[in-house]
């Protein structure tokens, strides 16, 4: 990711759908895994800033925007 090569994989929109299903299942079972909420929020941020068709490695862009720096070479 840091080299700037964001190789194809599952789109962020697909991953968000899956993470939402996981969160719903966890809620039904009474299980709490805060990392799932964190990763789901990161994917939602990625989609909100128009990178939803890119794969999960584009999440580095969310961190770059939040920090105001570019981490990729």
Q: Is residue 4 part of a domain?
A: no
Q: Is residue 2 part of a domain?
A: no
Domain count, the chain: 1
| pLDDT bucket at 1, cuts 50 / 70 / 90 | low
Q: Which residue range forms the structural domain that includes residue 51?
A: 12-67
**DSSP labels, 4-72:** S-----SBHHHHHHHHHHHHHHHHHHT---HHHHHHHHHHHHHHHTT-TTSBGGGHHHHHHHHHTS---
Q: Is residue 5 part of a domain?
A: no
Q: Is residue 25 part of a domain?
A: yes
The pLDDT tens digits for 30-62 are 999 999 999 999 889 888 887 778 877 788 888
pLDDT above 70 (res 26): yes
């Amino acid at each position: 990711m840091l080299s700037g090569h964001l190789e194809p994989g599952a789109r962020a929109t697909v991953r968000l759908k899956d993470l939402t299903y996981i969160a719903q299942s966890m809620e039904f079972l009474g299980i709490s895994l805060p990392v799932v909420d964190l990763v789901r929020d990161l994917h939602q941020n990625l989609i909100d800033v128009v990178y939803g068709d890119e794969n999960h490695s584009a999440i580095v862009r969310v961190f770059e925007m939040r920090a105001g720096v570019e981490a990729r070479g």
